[in-house]
Amino acid sequence: MAVNALRQIIISMRPAHWVKNFFVFTPLVFSQNLFHLKLLFLTSGAFLIFCAVSGAAYIINDLIDRDDDRIHPAKAKRPIASEKLSFKAALFSALMLQALGLVFAWALSPRLVLVAVFYIALNLLYSFFLKKIVILDVMAIAAGFILRILAGSAVTSVLPSHWLTICTGAIAIFLALGKRRHELILQNNLNGNNGKYLSYTSPYFLDQMIAVVTASTLMSYVLYTISAETIEKFGTTNLSFTIPFVVYGIFRYLYLMHQKGKGDDPARIMISDWPMILNLILWSLTVIWVLYQ
């Protein structure tokens, strides 16, 4: 019984989405400290802490949305919506995960505690209010990604560049808009009922925002790689060699979203679509080669 409950808790934490927490490593990589063992250990700890607190955030979100999830074809299978995991057990596990996350965060860095508290508060605001407000919902998601970068900065004492923060926020908004678009089209196809939130938007409106954010993401990354500040910091112009991988990754995601109808779960795409996985590996290896050669 206990083993099954633990399994349902882990499922509710959505391990596939922990790939987002790799943004914690951004300050470490781009400060050229990836092979600094102490900083690598601290950043890995921050990664695990964010897996715990983000997992708790997903559980709380599922608790709040359990009634709506029960009428959704896919979300109805989630442990809380399907009642495989009780309300009390889910709430207790979420609170414990948050508490443990804050305790271990304090052990690593007091500044990390502050970032984790902001992340928990942001997700509570999102679950109760912000996800129902058009535009602010995707901006809140982007803020969560930026807080991951700040978590990595807190344990390494490396300030992230403005360019990387802008790029991270832009790509997060891009992915969030794609998810919203998929949800809207799915609900339209099912019963024509968009729900209280989605009734205020449309695929056309979301496509317009996606087009703007796509261009902004590409341009911000290109400008980052060729900026005088970046060239002076790394002593090379070769970071521009990573641009084709970013272009392909965004275009591949747009293809999967529009042609394959797979925009519902960006994290799962990142770990299940082989062209995307290969592209991410090549981008990572190229970045490491440029920065650490």
Q: What confidence tens digit (pLDDT) does each residue in 67-122 have?
A: 888 887 778 889 999 989 999 999 999 999 999 999 999 999 999 999 999 999 99
In order of 119, 168, 179, 241, 286, the CA distances from 236 in angstroms are: 35, 22, 37, 11, 13
The pLDDT confidence band at residue 265, using thresholds 50, 70 and 90, is confident
Per-residue pLDDT at 201: 73
Residues 111 and 173 grouped into a single domain: no
Q: Token pair of 200, please?
A: 């205020």
Residues 128 and 166 grouped into a single domain: no
Per-residue pLDDT at 163: 84
pLDDT at 243 over 70: yes
**142 in any annotated domain:** no
Mean pLDDT of the region 15-26: 93
Per-residue pLDDT at 188: 65
Residues 18 and 94 grouped into a single domain: yes
Residues 170 and 45 grouped into a single domain: no
Residues 276 and 165 grouped into a single domain: yes
pLDDT at 196 over 80: no
Distance CA 160, CA 150 (A): 7
Q: Please give the model's pTM, rounded to 2 decimal places.
A: 0.90
The pLDDT confidence band at residue 288, using thresholds 50, 70 and 90, is very high
Mean pLDDT of the region 210-238: 92
First to last CA, the chain: 52
Residues 129 and 189 grouped into a single domain: no
Query: Helix H segments across 191-227?
Result: 195-198, 203-226
Per-residue pLDDT at 101: 96
Mean pLDDT of the region 172-178: 90
Domain-ending residue, one of 85, 113, 133: 133
Per-residue pLDDT at 194: 44
What's the whole-number average pLDDT of the chain?
89
At 84, give phi and psi (nearest 5°).
-70, -25
Q: How many domains does the chain have?
A: 2
Range of the domain at 105: 1-133
Q: Could you tell me the CATH number of the domain that includes residue 100? A: 1.10.357
The pLDDT confidence band at residue 145, using thresholds 50, 70 and 90, is very high
Per-residue pLDDT at 183: 79
Distance CA 188, CA 120 (A): 32
The pLDDT confidence band at residue 1, using thresholds 50, 70 and 90, is low
Closest by CA to 31, choosing from 292, 281, 286, is 292
Give exposure, 57-74, as e/b (b: 16+ Cβ within 10 Å). Answer: bbbbbbbebbeebeebee
**245 in any annotated domain:** yes
**143 in any annotated domain:** no
Residues 121 and 175 grouped into a single domain: no
pLDDT at 213 over 90: yes
Overall residue count recorded for the chain in this entry: 293
Residues 40 and 168 grouped into a single domain: no
**147 in any annotated domain:** no
Residues 274 and 187 grouped into a single domain: yes
Closest by CA to 69, choosing from 195, 156, 217, 218, is 195
Per-residue pLDDT at 190: 57
Residues 84 and 201 grouped into a single domain: no
Mean pLDDT of the region 225-254: 93
pLDDT at 5 over 50: yes
pLDDT at 17 over 70: yes
| Counts of helices then strands in the chain (DSSP H, E) | 14, 0
Asked if residues 168 and 206 have their Cβ atoms less than 8 Å apart, the reply is no
Residues 20 and 127 grouped into a single domain: yes
**115 in any annotated domain:** yes
pLDDT tens sequence across 49-66: 999 999 999 999 999 989
pLDDT at 191 over 60: no
Distance CA 290, CA 89 (A): 48
**205 in any annotated domain:** yes
In order of 99, 161, 167, the CA distances from 104 in angstroms are: 9, 27, 29
Per-residue pLDDT at 200: 62
Residues 17 and 96 grouped into a single domain: yes
**193 in any annotated domain:** yes
Mean pLDDT of the region 151-164: 88
Q: Token pair of 160, please?
A: 């992230």
**80 in any annotated domain:** yes
